[in-house]
Structure 1
Amino acid sequence: MNQALGKVVTAVMIDENDDYYFVQPERNGQTYRLKKTEAPQVLHIGGSVRGFVYENADHQLQMTCEHIPNIQVDHYDFGTVVNVRRDLGVFVNIGLPNKDIVVSLDDLPTLKHLWPQPGDRLLMALQVDDHDRIWGKLADDEIFRTLAAKPNRSLINKNVKATVYRLKMAGTLVLTEDYHLGFIHPSERDQEPRLGQVVKARVIGLSSHGGLNLSLKPRAYQAINDDAEQILALLTHSQTHQLALTDKSSPAEIKAVLGISKGQFKRAVGHLLKARLVNQVNGKLILLKDPNHD
């Protein structure tokens, strides 16, 4: 197996033509082509140069000194998915101009609709098989735990962006932009997100394992209908934060104030009561908290 592939190595120049230097890593019999426009200096026979070596899309061994990726053998970073082949896996851009790296279908979810799509992100390193093919190696749970920062309670109810890194029966594991581990229970999502998908979530608590419990569902007041929005607006802008209407009010009273039917009003108030944004006391609807400051 070619031990140099997927790594930054030092090599010696052994030959050249008009466009390329040909270099060989120390104690490695393989020859790599290095574009002269990429060399850090003019090379002569026996001169040394340091760069990243790989096999390009045309199956040529190549060194680059200009496009050295952060993702290497045993070096993890995020790469962006650029293509999907159902019979092979997903192709990830790691920064090379003429080579994308494949993450094998064997390392992807069984359900293909949960595979990463172009634009999704995967934390990965490189690995080289016995046939000198370079593959993407997804980070395991230990790598994510090593990266993770400890969250604090000030994050509760904050909005966060997070990248999905593991799909489990128990729920979805994610890493936030601030490198906090997060967990999304199936009850806190309408559909299961893809591996590598970037999601917008809300922090609903801290887990006993030192991570965040997250929800993909909107806040209760964000899920309410237009009628409830109208009632909330009236309550919010009222000096007393009260409205002389309840579900016991007559249809005519409700129609005169809100312009909606009693049935619409009762449904809207039901949403607001469930969200604990209002209460009904002594014939009045009372705002319990400002939905814009929860």
Structure 2
Amino acid sequence: MAKIGERVALTVLREAPPGVFLDGGEELGEVLLPRREFPPVWEIGGQVRVFLYTDSEDRPIATCKRPKAMPGDFAYLECVATSGVGAFVNWGLQKDLLVPFREQKERMEVGKSYVVHVYVDPESDRVVASRRLNRYLSQEPPNYAEGEEVDLILFGKTDLGYKAIINAKHSGVLFENEVHRRLRAGEETKGYIVQVRKDGKIDLSLYPPGRARIDDLEAQIEDELIKRGGFWDLCDSSSPEEINKALGVSKKAFKQATGALYRRKRITIGKDGIKLIGSEPEEWRPE
């Protein structure tokens, strides 16, 4: 049964001046696919795959386009208009997506982007969005393993660090003193579970734990050395800021990785930089 907010394959019933009408079943009836939305190939009696939402008069309407976010998704979308009923964000379709006033934590401003949750309002049967994200996070106890890789969407900043949505289900915190690169609101990135506390709160990291994190960094350093012809003027005497700008990690992590590479006889370490063994330039003077 076809429902608002879903992508479904519907049968083309008939053509009319505004477009073609699709069979939406008993609940939706005939659904208009506007002429501007036609797929490259279609025929009466054939099927087209469409996304179902409602027009400005709350009538079911179809599009062959896929919105930037489906119901159930969290997404970072730009506010493009406001009105007496709320704000509207661009989700990639002809009709912008409404964020009702009741679903806003603060009044949204045109030109700014916000993390929202997209859902079908059960009362109006319209696809809408909400800024009250916690309402739409899972209430089930989190069941993540330490070190597990997860998908994150960053949505807030606190005194402790950065708040992130985990796998579109839970929220957690990236502690600021563990973040070694600039983060932006709405950024989607991979992260790792540090721990799930007894109270259900989740600590996160941008880096794989323990040995895995250093292994990744070692590979990154080796790749960069190859690109640079075997020498890089980054070393133990470089400032934490220089190291963070170059690799996005702390100086401690950098020293752990270069120390491991040195012990494996992959690099030599000098006062002026690090050198990939086997491609020593003439001016290099190893310590």
Normalised by the size of structure 2, how large is the TM-score? 0.48
Task: Say which one has the larger Rg.
Answer: 1
State the TM-score, normalized to the length of structure 1. Answer: 0.47
